[in-house]
Structures are given as structure tokens and as C-alpha cells.
């Protein structure tokens, strides 16, 4: 379905929980996080219902996110049902990888087509500093298991932060030589209460592009139609790709194809806008599908035109990243 700015909206990011087993410096504080109560979080049945309605309004790809999706109990049974929704062409998942080793085979068997694993450093002690947990070994074993059970490609999300991991850009890019990994460098976004975002920490995708140019000829790769606004390249002769997600520097709102559903059932058109549509209340009140479809259509049509971060500067949203789903 088209929004009021002529964009095709076909991609839903579904946050199944606000809980997480890590505390990444740019996402969740170590202490004082108020989690949503279980009764306020959508049940899996409610999520399946809403996704089914979104498919009727043109959604073709769903990405599971969070919080950390793998910490929610019963996820595999949910994935089995989600992947069977008629009309959905792709179901993918983003995880921090900590619990992946034991779940990769089941996730694959459900029909999840691709996974993204977030990993910001290849140095265990640095991963500890960024995530607050000593988890590098678990994440790496999770990646290897995902590869073993046949996920291909495996995407690795790297949030690039000056003074934290900017000296590892080429090491990550080098992984594409030996492995079919797609490395996606993401600009640090100003979405957290602890406010780690500072101009001096910000590394633009242009800075990253300049570094990886030193590794060889960068050949642009056409992204798949649901990928949204990532720039993709292959370094000549390598297995994997490089993706650059310039959420701030590259003004890509005109290409944005996404909607987001929060764990408590709010539909959002933009990560950086607090404009949201409550679907849980009418669903629990027993409102008819026709009514819910109208709300979804209204949310799609009125998706914000742009995030305005370049115009108005970084700002915080009322919900943190782990409550929206990054
Ligand atoms: N827990 C899962 C994970 O970390 O992959 C899924 C949820 S997480 C919110 C989704 C993605 O958002 C991750 O790749 C994470 O690195 C990214 N992210 C979180 N906070 C961010 C921020 N302030 N700036 C840029 N990316 C961020
Ligand atoms: Fe958890 Fe993912 Fe946020 Fe890190 S980025 S704290 S793993 S939800």
C-alpha cells in the first residue's frame, strides 16, 4: 500500500519483547529499566492477528526484533505460525546472538529466511565493555551454528562509534573474504535515555566508505525490494557484501518502506517520531477486523514524511530503542 508520500509500505518490524539479556551502551542502561508488564505485552495470538491484517494492507516482509527476540518464551512455536501466514514473502530476525547456538536449527526449520546478528567488535573484552556482558564467545558460536545450519547470507550489524570500535572497520570488512557474511555498518542513532550520542562519537557512512575503499574496488549491489534504504557493495572478489545504513547522514526517508509494531501493540511509522496508533486496546475490546484495518491504513497513509534529525538535530523519543525495535 502507498502512503501519502507515494512510498510503498511493505515491511513490518515486529518487536516481540522489550526485554534483553544485554545492556548495550547505546540502547539500554544497566539499571533502572522499567519493563512493560506481561499483561500489557501482546500475546503471540494477538501478534499473529495483527500481522495477518497488516498483510492485507500490503506488508510482505516481517522482521522479528526487540529487545532480544530470543529471550521471549515460546518464540519457536510463534515463528512456525508466523511463517505460515499467507501472503508473507519473507520473515527475518535480528538477534544479539547470545542464545543463537541452541536455537539456530529450530529457527531455520520454522522457515525464517535470513538472520542478522548484532556484533560491534571482534575483541571479546571490547564486546564486554559495549554490551555489559562477557558474551563474545557465545555470539561467535551462535554465528558459526547459524552458518552450519544453512543460513546464507548471515548479516552482521555493526554500530560504528568513534573512539569505541572505529579501528575495527577493516577487520569487519575483511570477514567478507573468508565468510559469506554481509557486514552492515550502522550509524549511531540518538535513541536512548542515557544519551551516548555525541557529535564526536558519530561516524558517518561516508567515513566508513572511505576506509573500506582501501580494500579494493567497491561494486554497488542492487538491494532486494524489501531491504529498504541500505547502500550495498561487494568488494571485488569477495564472498560477502558490505551494507551502509546512514540513518542520519544519508537522508533516506524518501525510500523508507517500514512500519514498526511495538511489543505493547502500537504501530509506528518512524523510529524517531512519537506518532503511534494503538491497536491493542481496540483488539482487546473485541473491535471488528474492518475497524482495525482502517486504523492500520490510517497509520500507513500518515507515516511521517521524514525524521527531521538533520533539520532539528538529534532528539529522544518517548520510547527507547529496545521498546520500539531497532
Ligand atoms: N537485540 C537485538 C539485537 O541487538 O540485534 C534486536 C534489537 S536491537 C534494538 C536492533 C538493532 O538496533 C541492533 O543491530 C542494534 O545494534 C541497533 N541499535 C540499537 N540502538 C542503536 C542506536 N542508538 N544506534 C544505532 N543502532 C542501534
Ligand atoms: Fe539488547 Fe539489542 Fe538493545 Fe543491545 S541493541 S541492549 S542486544 S536490544
239 Cα–ligand 2 center, Å: 28
How confident is the model at residue 145, as a pLDDT? 97
- The answer to whether the beta carbons of residues 309 and 248 sit under 8 Å apart is yes
pLDDT > 70 fraction of the chain, expressed in percent and rounded: 92
Instruction: Using the mean position of ligand 2's atoms as its centre, give its distance from the Cα of residue 4 in Å.
Output: 32
In the chain, count H helices and then E strands: 11, 12
At residue 313, the pLDDT reads 55
pLDDT tens per residue across span 139-153: 999 999 999 999 999
Torsion over CA: 245, 247, 248, 250 (sign): positive
d(CA 79, CA 39): 21
Ligand nearest to the CA of 159: 1
Q: With a threshold of 0.75, does the pTM exceed it?
A: yes
Residue 222 vs residue 107, higher pLDDT: 107
Residues with CB under 6 A from ligand 2: 20, 22-24, 27-28, 66-68, 96, 118, 321-322
For ligand 1, pick from 97, 155, 326 the residue to mutate: most ligand atoms within 8 Å of CB.
Answer: 326
The mean pLDDT value for 195-202 works out to 82
Distance CA 124, CA 325 (A): 25
Ordered by where they begin, the domains of the chain are 11-324 (3.20.20.70)
Distance from the alpha carbon of residue 87 to the mean position of ligand 1, in angstroms? 28
Q: Where are the alpha helices (DSSP H) in the chain?
A: 44-56, 75-82, 100-110, 124-131, 136-148, 169-178, 205-213, 280-284, 289-301, 309-312, 321-324
pLDDT in tens, 121-134: 999 999 999 999 99
Instruction: Provide the pLDDT for residue 309.
Output: 63
Locate 71 and state its grid cell.
529471550
Between 103-112, 161-170, 309-318, the lowest mean confidence (pLDDT) is in: 309-318
The preferred substitution site among 158, 159, 228 for testing ligand 1, maximizing ligand atoms within 8 Å of CB, is 159
Amino acid at each position: 500500500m502507498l502512503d501519502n508520500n507515494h512510498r510503498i509500505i511493505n515491511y513490518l518490524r515486529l518487536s516481540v519483547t522489550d526485554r534483553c539479556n544485554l545492556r548495550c551502551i547505546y540502547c539500554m542502561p544497566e539499571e533502572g529499566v522499567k519493563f512493560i508488564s506481561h499483561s500489557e505485552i501482546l500475546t503471540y495470538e494477538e501478534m499473529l492477528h495483527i500481522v495477518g491484517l497488516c498483510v492485507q494492507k500490503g506488508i510482505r516482509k516481517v522482521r522479528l526484533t526487540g529487545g532480544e527476540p530470543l529471550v521471549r518464551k515460546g518464540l519457536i512455536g510463534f515463528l512456525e505460525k508466523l511463517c505460515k501466514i499467507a501472503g508473507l514473502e519473507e520473515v527475518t530476525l535480528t538477534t544479539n546472538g547470545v542464545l543463537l547456538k541452541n536455537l539456530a536449527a529450530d529457527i531455520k526449520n520454522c522457515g525464517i529466511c535470513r538472520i542478522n546478528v548484532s556484533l560491534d567488535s571482534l575483541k571479546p573484552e571490547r564486546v564486554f565493555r559495549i554490551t555489559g556482558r562477557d558474551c563474545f564467545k557465545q555470539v561467535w558460536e551462535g554465528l558459526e551454528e547459524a552458518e552450519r545450519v544453512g543460513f546464507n547470507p548471515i548479516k552482521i550489524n555493526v554500530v560504528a562509534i568513534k573512539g569505541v570500535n572505529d579501528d575495527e572497520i577493516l577487520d569487519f570488512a575483511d570477514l567478507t573474504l573468508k565468510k559469506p557474511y554481509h557486514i552492515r555498518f550502522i550509524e549511531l542513532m540518538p535513541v536512548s535515555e542515557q544519551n551516548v550520542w555525541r557529535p564526536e562519537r558519530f561516524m558517518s557512512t561516508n567515513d566508513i566508505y572511505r576506509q573500506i575503499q582501501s580494500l579494493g574496488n567497491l561494486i554497488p549491489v542492487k538491494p532486494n525490494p524489501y531491504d529498504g534504504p541500505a547502500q550495498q557493495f561487494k568488494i571485488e572478489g569477495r564472498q560477502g557484501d558490505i551494507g551502509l545504513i546512514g540513518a542520519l547522514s544519508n537522508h533516506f526517508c524518501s525510500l523508507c518502506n517500514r512500519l514498526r509494531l511495538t511489543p505493547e501493540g502500537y504501530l509506528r511509522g518512524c523510529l524517531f517520531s512519537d506518532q503511534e496508533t494503538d491497536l491493542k486496546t481496540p483488539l482487546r475490546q473485541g473491535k471488528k477486523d474492518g475497524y482495525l484495518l482502517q486504523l492500520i491504513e490510517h497509520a500507513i497513509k500518515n507515516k511521517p514524511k521524514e525524521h527531521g534529525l538533520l533539520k532539528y538535530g538529534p532528539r529522544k523519543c518517548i520510547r527507547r530503542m529496545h521498546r520500539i525495535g531497532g
